[in-house]
Structure 1
Amino acid sequence: MVVLDTTSGKPVSDLPIAGDTDDLFYDARRKRLYLSCGQGSVEVVEQPSPNDYKLSARIATSAGARTSLFSPELDRFYLAVPERGSQTPGIRIYQPQ
């Protein structure tokens, strides 16, 4: 993941994250990014200061689970898990801590 300065266009941060990222959400209350990655994880990135980003958690999910929604009003992160082989499809619901 590369974070760019919107004024200069220059990179301010570069983090290795899991592949096949589909969605990215910003949690303004906690100053975090949530990324759903089809490689099989949700990545949680902390933002301690405006140009400082750190990977704080890699939550194992399922292969192909990359479509997600973060609802700040409900304080929930929803992740769609597709049917793949013996993998059961469904919606996983996470509450940020």
Structure 2
Amino acid sequence: MQLIDCPWCGPREEVEFHHGGPAHVAYPADPSALTDEQWAHFVFFRDNPKGPVAERWNHTAGCRRWFNAVRDTVTYRFLAVYPAGAPRPELPGART
């Protein structure tokens, strides 16, 4: 079992957390101006890079707070965790 380090609760088992998709996604300035196809592309199409990626996570079985993490998609290893709204830490090779 892998431990994930919640910024508020400390290390907890991974079953307590829920993945929330990529972090630092720029939302459209005027979503109502998008066509259905453009909106569907924004909502459903995401890159699936290999290596370090910034993601959103929720501690669902603990403090229930959202936070961001940089996780390596090859090794599944968490390289950094930080509160939502905080800037992404500078890590070599990390993507948004």
Query: Could you state the TM-score of these two structures normalised by the residue count of structure 2?
Result: 0.32
Query: Would you tell me which structure has more strand in proportion to its own residues?
Result: 1
Query: Would you tell me which structure has more helix in proportion to its own residues?
Result: 2
Larger RCO of the pair (alpha carbons < 8 Å, separation 6+): 2
